[in-house]
C-alpha cells in the first residue's frame, strides 16, 4: 500500500534530498504511525499527539512553506509518508 502511495505521489528520496535508505526507513515508520493513529493523513490534532507540542506550534508548521501539506477544502493535512520523510530530513526526532 505504501509503495503505491509513494508512486502515486511521485515520492522519490532524491526529490527530498535524503538518502535512499532513509526512504525505506520512512516507509516503515509511516506505516507504523498510520496504524497507530488510524489514518494515512494527519490533521492538526493528530500532529499534536504525534509531536507532543501545542496546537499553535502545529498550526504554524502547517502554514509553513517547508512543511508538505495538502489542502482539502479549508483543512490542511499531511500524509504519513510525507510527514515521516520531512521529520527525517529535518532531524527533528519527533518520531
15-55 pLDDT, tens per residue? 445 456 667 788 899 999 999 999 999 999 999 999 999 99
The residue among 59 and 6 whose pLDDT is bigger is 59
Q: Indicate whether 84 belongs to any domain.
A: yes
Tell me the mean pLDDT in the region 76-92. Answer: 87
Residue numbers of the domain that contains 60: 2-90
Given a cut of 80, whether residue 8 has pLDDT beyond it is no
Instruction: Give this prediction's pTM.
Output: 0.72
> How many structural domains compose the chain?
1
Given a cut of 70, whether residue 78 has pLDDT beyond it is yes
Q: Indicate whether 13 belongs to any domain.
A: yes
Q: Indicate whether 95 belongs to any domain.
A: no
Tell me the mean pLDDT in the region 66-74. Answer: 93
Query: 56 vs 15, 41, 47, 60, CA distance in Å?
Result: 29, 19, 11, 6
Q: What pLDDT does 89 receive?
A: 82
Amino acid at each position: 500500500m505504501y509503495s503505491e502511495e509513494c508512486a502515486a505521489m511521485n515520492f522519490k528520496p532524491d526529490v527530498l534530498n535524503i538518502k535512499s535508505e532513509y526512504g525505506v526507513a520512512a516507509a516503515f515508520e509511516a506505516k507504523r504511525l498510520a496504524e497507530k493513529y488510524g489514518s494515512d493523513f494527519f490533521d492538526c490534532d493528530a500532529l499534536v499527539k504525534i509531536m507532543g507540542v501545542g496546537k499553535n506550534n502545529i498550526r504554524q508548521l502547517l502554514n509553513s512553506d517547508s512543511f508538505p501539506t495538502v489542502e482539502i477544502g479549508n483543512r490542511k493535512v499531511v500524509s504519513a509518508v510525507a510527514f515521516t520523510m520531512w521529520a527525517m530530513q529535518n532531524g527533528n526526532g519527533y518520531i
